[in-house]
């Protein structure tokens, strides 16, 4: 007949190891690094309603986006977009090259001082008659800045300036 093997195990002993202060500090440091990494993003890689909404706005400090363009009179609207009153917008040009450095800064930059615009109010009035998000610009009549940068008659010049930029694609413009 087949014999069954009987295995005897020693009794299980549970021992509690004190975690102490060092274990708690380590956990706090890891959580701090993870939260810092999660809240740091450039305006281009924050999804709509993502990092700028909810509780993360309480954890992160925001700063105004970098100045750019001729005489640093413009402001970065995205990694390839530099716009300013009297300048119009530069997309993918040498004037907008400074805006790429925003991706390297851990603090999120915003342009909250600029008026919101666009169909879903997701953009900012970047120049007279121009509304920009992080990825594209479009003409928007709610962004006409009469009195801030010249007469309304001068504003079509900015449209001409934008129209000659060779690097624009139909995807970037939503007219």
Q: Is 25 helix (H, G, I), strand (E, B) or coil?
A: helix
- Domains in the chain, number: 1
The predicted structure's pLDDT at residue 150? 42
In a domain, 43, yes or no: no
In a domain, 30, yes or no: no
The predicted structure's pLDDT at residue 1? 53
In a domain, 154, yes or no: yes
The predicted structure's pLDDT at residue 24? 65
Q: Percent of the chain, pLDDT > 70?
A: 48
In a domain, 110, yes or no: yes
Phi, psi of 91 (to 5 degrees): -120, 120
In a domain, 14, yes or no: no
In a domain, 26, yes or no: no
Q: pLDDT under 70 in the chain at which residues?
A: 1-26, 28, 30-61, 146-175
List the beta bridge partners of residue 131.
125, 138
In a domain, 76, yes or no: yes
- Exposure of 123 in the CB half-sphere (CA atoms within 13 A): 23
- Structure-block tokens of residue 92: 């993918």
The predicted structure's pLDDT at residue 109? 87
The predicted structure's pLDDT at residue 84? 92
Q: Rounded CA gap, 39 and 150, in Å?
A: 39
Domain housing 110: 63-163
Q: Rounded to a whole number, what is the distance in angstroms from the first to the last CA of the chain?
A: 88
Domain CATH number, residue 149: 2.60.9.10
The predicted structure's pLDDT at residue 4? 58
The predicted structure's pLDDT at residue 34? 62
């Amino acid at each position: 007949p087949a014999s069954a093997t009987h295995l005897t195990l020693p009794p299980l002993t549970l021992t509690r190891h004190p975690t102490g202060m060092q274990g708690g500090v380590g956990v706090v440091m890891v959580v701090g690094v993870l939260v810092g990494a999660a809240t740091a993003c450039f305006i281009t890689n924050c999804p709509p309603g993502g990092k700028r909404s909810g509780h993360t706005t309480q954890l992160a400090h925001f700063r105004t986006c970098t100045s750019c363009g001729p005489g640093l009179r413009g402001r970065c609207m995205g990694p390839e977009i530099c716009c300013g009153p009297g300048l119009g917008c530069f997309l993918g040009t040498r004037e907008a090259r400074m805006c790429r450095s925003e991706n390297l800064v851990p603090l999120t930059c915003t342009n909250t001082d600029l008026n919101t615009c666009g169909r879903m109010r997701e953009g900012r009035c970047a120049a007279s008659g121009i509304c920009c998000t992080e990825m594209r610009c479009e003409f928007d009549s709610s962004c006409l800045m009469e009195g801030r940068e010249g007469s309304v008659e001068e504003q079509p010049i900015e449209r001409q300036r934008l129209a000659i930029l060779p690097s624009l694609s139909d995807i970037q413009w939503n007219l």
